[in-house]
A and B are shown apart, each in its own frame.
Chain A
Amino acid sequence: MAILEVTDLQTRFRTDDGIVKAVSGVSFSLERGQTLGVVGESGSGKSVTFLTVMGLVDPRHSEVSGSVRFDGDEILGSGNARLQKIRGKRIGMIFQDPMTSLNPVKKIGWQLEEAVLLHNDVTRAEARRRAIEVLVEVEIPHADSRVDDYPHQFSGGMRQRVMIAMALINKPEVLIADEPTTALDVTTQAQILRLMKKLQDEHEMAIVMITHDLGVVAEVAHECLVMYGGRIVEQAKVDDLFAKPEMPYTWGLLGSLPRINLTSDRLEQIPGQPPSLLHPPRGCSFHPRCAYVFDRCRQELPELTPGAIGDDHLFRCHLADEDRARIWDAKKAALEASEGRAA
């Protein structure tokens, strides 16, 4: 049974300008020990989806519907008392900017101990022992003295490790990481990703890796969701997604990456910007930017369906299978030709 099962999740925010449809029908399941990569750009709904899963959206301004089953139990709409037993204990969360997520006026030891004491009936001394233990696990040198330092005394990479330590301290079954390495240098990112993989192996932990960086997804994810305009537009095992993406937005994302192993004069660009979630386009939310748009796209939202490949590769697109295959083969040939030139 999946550790996290989300069905038809919808999140709407009530604002002065109208209703913002941030998440419109997201469904997926997360298996133990697996990493789910969630890819999308600004406004795709990727962060709000997981804030909703964790019950972190303000109910005064939002409407949430659907189902979130954690280890078999429904948690969507649960009260704070129940959710607080799960958040920080069985589901850990890492946020994007480690400086603003850590309390600047408290020593990190205190913050780590707080996470332990909230969920476990232990003494402060035991909590401190656990804090040092987890700091060692995330490879912070001199953990026994660093535990008494303040966040500003750590570098960006170190602070992110402290965040990871805080998320892991109670040995959660799921770790939700929202852009954990975006603010970090590439060599630090490599260290953090390697650390997360090691910890996943050791603790059989499921990870959700939310990112806009397709390279990171290719490195760490087993399964991948591509989000656009508050919906999942493509869903597949990571190898399948990169080998044969089935949807024009995904083609555009992959094509717009400057790559270290390719030379091309122009990058493929997706014209325009991500859609307004206040007034989303009719029909397929990607159609205003799609090079292959036709009438049906403007009227009818495509369903998330499997294609010719198989049941576990889903996508939303009205293009016929043969057309899609033809377009992708042409793109792939062009990519391979430029790869040949670079070599």
Chain B
Amino acid sequence: MSELLVVENLQKYFPVTRGAIFQREVGQVKAVDGVSFTLEQGETLGVVGESGCGKSTMARCVARLLEPTGGRIIFEGNDITHLNRSGMRPVRRDMMMVFQDPYASLNARKRVGAIVGEPLEVHGLGTTAERKRRVQELLEIVGLNPEHYNRFPHEFSGGQRQRIGIARALVINPKLVICDEPVSALDVSVQAQILNLLKDLQEQFDLTYIFIAHDLNVVRHVSDRVMVMYLGQPVETGGKQDLYTEPKHPYTGALLSAVPIADPALGRAREQIVLQGDVPSPLNPPAACHFHPRCPRFVDGKCNVDTPELTPAAESPDHRYACHFPLERWPMDESEMRRTPAFAGTAD
């Protein structure tokens, strides 16, 4: 198994300017602020987090739809961080994206055949007849009728449109597929179809996925490894088993606790951890640990002063978390979470 993708300390800052004639930079939105991970071929990395955590921005940086402000992206051993358009062109054959909104991500004025065939055309692959055959092949693979080649997107349902988007992503045989919330806009029963399809395709074509979602149930189902993001930074990464059964970071614990359980008895039995407040603005993130204002384990003088680094867990070095007071066990309820172990630095 080889490393397909290595991301080192990725940063993406958006400048905030003021002034009509002379634009001064008055601040920065640190949308992605130090993300690092490696992805092996055939793996699925699930990226989970709430609005504003930077997961979509991170994905777009990896796909080079945005230019990173800092850090490095190494794809198949090549540094692609600042490649120009022609430099990226061969890379784009191996890296494709599936988007969230099945209504907005397909050109409403093009027929399905043209939409799915566009990557072939852009890369100059095949004759017209070969391209048509390949598109029809993909339509069938994703569970659509090849005869729908000449239809427009509006003639399809949300789930079918998402299949069209997937067909388009696969038509040139990429290695890496970045899925940005591919099932969030779909009904539950259709979601299951698409998740099963993505898994089948991964096996069939040896695909590697970055799977971004806010639904923890979905992420658990599809991922091998998971990265939890909060306000531009990864707070915990690891194998899915580790993360879901023994989360170390309080935010991961709160996320897991907040997911409604489709089992009334289980739901009633557990005590949910409900965070206070909302996610702060990335324009003015809290000092040191960005999560500290909402954290049940916050220790004044430590969490708002020292930025925690991603540290490997003792039991499993691949499981890393960025917290000064990681959870000792799981499950925990809110009152247990608040009992932060004594810290030598605080004045008692």
- Identify the A interface with B (CB < 8 A): 41-42, 141, 155-158, 185-191, 193-194, 212-216, 218-219, 238-239, 242, 252-261, 264-271, 273-274
Q: How far, in whole Å, are A155 and B50 apart by their CA atoms in the complex?
A: 13
Q: From the candidates B158, B256, B259, name the one contacting A215 in the complex (CB within 8 A).
A: B259
A185–B196 Cα distance when bound, in Å, is 24
| A212 near B220: Cβ-Cβ < 8 Å | no
| B221 x A185 contact (CB < 8 A) | no
Which positions in B face A, CB cutoff 8 Å? 50-51, 157-160, 187-193, 195-196, 199, 214-218, 220-221, 244, 254-267, 272, 274-275, 277-279
Bound Cα distance from A301 to B259, whole angstroms: 37
Asked whether, in the complex, the Cβ of A41 is within 8 Å of the Cβ of B267, the reply is no
Is the CB–CB distance between B187 and A242 below 8 Å?
Answer: no
The answer to whether A260 and B261 have CB atoms under 8 Å apart is yes
A242 close to B263 (CB less than 8 A): yes
Q: A189-B258, A191-B275, A219-B261 are in contact. Are A212 and B267 (CB under 8 A)?
A: no
* B189 adjacent to A260 (CB under 8 Å): no
Q: Is the CB of A41 within 8 A of B187?
A: yes
A267–B279 Cα distance when bound, in Å, is 32
Known A216-B260, A257-B262; contact A269-B189, beta-carbon cutoff 8 A: yes
Contacts of B262 in A (CB 8 A): 214-215, 218, 242, 254, 257, 259
A157-B278, A214-B262, A218-B262 known; A258+B190 contact, CB < 8 A:
no
Closest to A192 in B: B274
A252 touching B258 in the complex, CB below 8 Å, given contacts A188-B278, A194-B272, A260-B244: no
Given A194-B274, A212-B187, A270-B192: A258 and B260 within 8 A (CB)?
no
Also in contact, A238 and B216, with CB within 8 A (given A194-B272, A194-B274, A253-B189): no
Report the bound CA distance from A338 to B325 in whole Å: 33
Whether the Cβ atoms of B267 and A185 lie closer than 8 Å is no
- With contact pairs A213-B260, A219-B261 given, residues A186 and B267 touching in the complex (Cβ less than 8 Å): no
Q: A185-B50, A194-B272, A269-B193 are in contact. Are A260 and B258 (CB under 8 A)?
A: no
Beyond known contacts A185-B50, A218-B262, A268-B192: 13 more, CB 8 A cutoff? A185-B214, A187-B255, A189-B260, A194-B272, A214-B188, A215-B267, A257-B192, A258-B215, A260-B217, A260-B244, A260-B259, A267-B195, A267-B221
* Residues in chain A near residue B218, CB distance under 8 A: 258
Shortest beta-carbon contacts, A-B, top 9: A215-B260, A256-B192, A258-B221, A185-B50, A190-B258, A41-B187, A267-B192, A270-B189, A269-B192
**Inter-chain contact A42/B187, CB cutoff 8 Å:** yes
Please report the C-alpha to C-alpha distance between residue A269 and residue B272 in the assembled complex, in whole angstroms.
30
Q: How far is the CB of A190 from chain B (nearest CB, A)?
A: 4
Q: Is the CB of A274 within 8 A of B187?
A: yes
Q: Which of A186, A188, A216, A256 has the most CB of B within 10 A?
A: A186
CB-defined contacts of B274 to chain A, threshold 8 Å = 187, 190-191, 194
Q: Which of chain B's residues have a CB closer than 8 A to the CB of A264?
A: 221
Residue of B51, B189, B255 touching A256 (CB-CB under 8 A):
B189
Residues of B with C-beta under 8 A to A216 = 260
Contacts of A214 in B (CB 8 A): 188, 262
Q: Are A218 and B261 in contact (CB under 8 A)?
A: yes
18 A-B residue pairs with Cβ-Cβ distance under 8 Å, sorted by A, are A41-B189, A186-B214, A186-B216, A186-B258, A187-B275, A189-B258, A193-B260, A194-B272, A215-B217, A218-B261, A242-B262, A258-B217, A259-B217, A260-B220, A265-B199, A267-B221, A270-B193, A273-B159
| Assembly CA distance A259 to B187 (angstroms) | 16
- Determine the chain B residues whose CB is within 8 A of the CB of A191 once the complex forms: 274-275
Which chain A residues border B264 with CB–CB below 8 Å?
218-219, 238-239, 242
Whole-angstrom distance between the alpha carbons of A266 and B188 in the complex?
14
- Which A residues are in CB contact (< 8 Å) with B277? 141
Residue among B196, B255, B258 making CB contact with A266, cutoff 8 Å: B196
Q: In angstroms, how far is the closest chain B Cβ from the Cβ of A255?
A: 8
